[in-house]
Structure 1
Amino acid sequence: MEEKKMGLMKCLFVLFAGGVIFLLLLAIYPFWLLFAKVTNLIGVKGIRNTSGKLQTPVVFYEHSVTKRIVAFVAVIHIAEPAYYAAIQELIDSLKGYKILFEATGKLSPQEEQALTQKEKDISSQFDFIFDLMKKINELMSLQYQKDGLTYSASWINTDMRLYDLIRAFAQQDISLIKKGRDIDDPFTEEFGQTVARWFINKLFSRFIPVGVVLSVVAFFSRDKRVAKRLILDARNEIAFQGINEYLKDSDIVTIWGAAHLSGIEKCLKKSGFREVRREWFTAYTVRDYSLFDAIKKGMRATKEAASAATALKKD
């Protein structure tokens, strides 16, 4: 009797807590919508949400004296195949330009052996993030940048090596994530996949406001601030050094993640460049996913899988 009473109390508490959370979310939701609309209207340097599309720009800068051109191709690293095809077409049309690109690459066997335990832990965190991107890529039927663009042998990597980035993280005694977990968990079952598709689609549709919120949260974390300096600021300096090195001989196309645009643009403007042209490319078109339909479909798939498993046991 006592156990039943305790069980009932727990159920009531869960219902009460769930109700409170629901009401709080309901109260916050209008403000979130307003915030999302404002941030989408304002946008950020390297990305925008507009009319159900996630877009990144190619920005052309011209030097006020030399008239040299730098075309900054701001990309996201997983996107719809048509996005990379359109960017490739633009790059191919820029005859005589030197093509530079971002790529930290992979660790060589020698570099892997040289890692300390702390560096190995950080390396595994990078692996976790790369694997997560791979799972999202597969789940949403997207394409990797390295598969979508044709990297010619004449293209030049002007990025920091992954080995140096890992060592920098270790020297600063910071981590990307606190603890990795098995990323297959939400992606193996049909129910998890269906809900994950809805969530990722919603994330793409609110990419800018979500990014703004995460940036604000990261500001209060020492690890996140230092990570930003290493992943963005330090590599922006390396990218700009590469631009300066090759700009003497020709105009430049430099292909970097959209998050790098703001920092590299500041360097360009300080050096006498000004923006003369901007073209937007659609990386992702928001899909018509309903959470209710996703849950219903996922539950149906789970039920069918359970029925099939039961039938197999009987056989």
Structure 2
Amino acid sequence: MQLHELVNTLGQDLQRRYGEKVHKLTLHGGFSCPNRDGTIGRGGCTFCNVSSFVDENTQAQSIEMQLSDRSGEIKRAKKYFAYFQAYTNTFAEVQVLRNMYEQALRSSDIVGLCVGTRPDCVPDAVMDLLIEYKQKGYEIWLELGLQTANNNTLKRINRGHDFECYAQITKRARAHGIKVCTHLIVGLPKETKQDNIETLKKVLDVGTDGIKLHGLHIVEGSTMAKAWKAGKLEAPSLEQYVDIASTMIRMTPPDVVYHRVSSAARRPTLLSPLWCENRWLAMTEIGRTLDKEGAQGTLIERPFIYSKPILTPQL
């Protein structure tokens, strides 16, 4: 069976709701990160080398030019989400954000926004702006980089926020009908499979609309790269990642949308694990495991009441 027959993927979710293919167009707004410039902390998260995720030439282009370039590359869709991905895409004055978001929304092909950010970087004014776009009929996804619900791990990786911060902003966003996609990393230092399962349980208890799974990458320029070069840190093997990710997917209610079940990077920025160079390796193996052991939702341990968004505003 194909992966979308075993997992509620974003692609099939959008196809079902819009009646046609809808693609995410990645945009770079030139944002910084409050965990690097001293606003919240310095040095950034220990796994991060932000330059590995950003094409500086692309970042220098206007939003309109980026949209034109991206839509020209994808011929199979006529509708798109503007996806502000790299850095912290709510880390600016609200008027700056408004100008940038509205550049993207001017196109009639754009049906919504996906905004990648940190749980501690969505102040009331930014939330109100996203709510405004939601009320205008756009579909809004707030992609929150949680990575783990373990507060001890969050401290070790210099994340700069705790799980409670994530839970608070998630509940507020979903109360206004803004969808939340939770980013999680499998393979963080000192974390076990059980830690990943506990993270998933906590995320589901709070309520989420989507999940994006990443395997830990050791990338050049990161703090973790130094530990890896010294032989003090290992990235997860393909087998370890597939086992943990497959279990998490099987424990996830079927109506939660998986935006990604694996991630990829390239050398020379990527140091380890090298299986991440081929984005299809983990996806194929996860599909095989789920086909054999059970699809999404088949490992729910107890009757699960999925927390749908509450549309009554809760300020």
TM-score (normalised: structure 2): 0.26
User: Is the radius of gyration larger for structure 1 or structure 2?
Assistant: 1
Does 1 or 2 have the higher relative contact order (CA < 8 Å, sep 6+)? 1
Normalised by the size of structure 1, how large is the TM-score?
0.26
Which structure: greater helix fraction?
1
